[in-house]
Homo-oligomer: A and B are copies of this chain.
Amino acid sequence: MYSVSVRDSMMVAHSFTGEVFGPAQRLHGATFVVDLEFRRPELDPDGIVVDIGKATEVLKTILSALSFRNLDEEPAFAGKNTTTEFLARVVFDRTADAIVRGELGSHAHGITSLRVALHESHVAWAAFEGPLKTT
């Protein structure tokens, strides 16, 4: 299995609901350094997993829609705790959608799975990984 990963980051405010979160129930914030990994069993005709320029652009677009915001006020996340693992899934789903829409090029349909990791500090990170649905 081949993979290619690109890294970018976002800066958000949010708060959590539930005693398990302790002081993180208060409004606070985080920088998430995001690693987006594309996987496929065979390289495309250019000898690559994905167009790294397009991959970088797609990740930047997805993170720009989240960054410099208070996620507590985003309608898309109403009633949800926007935990690191939850946000990893959000980036996963939006990347999968971008592939379906062709934003990563026609060869990107050969990508079979993704892994999204969000680093929230030097001692904690979370990830979501899974196969892409084929249509």
Interface residues of A (CB under 8 A from B): 1-9, 11-14, 18, 20-24, 26-33, 43, 46-49, 51-53, 56, 67-70, 80-81, 83-86, 88-89, 105, 120-130
Contact = CB atoms under 8 A, between A and B. Distances in A.
Contacts of A53: 20, 22
A28 B123 contact: no
A60 to B, nearest CB: 11
A93 to B, nearest CB: 13
B4 A48 contact: no
A7 B105 contact: no
Q: Give the number of times this chain occurs in the complex, counting copies.
A: 6
Contacts of A26: 68-70
A3 to B, nearest CB: 5
Given A70-B27, A126-B2, A129-B1, A47 B7 contact: no
**Shortest Cβ-Cβ A-B pairs, 6 listed:** A29-B29, A13-B13, A23-B68, A47-B81, A13-B29, A7-B123
B2 A28 contact: no
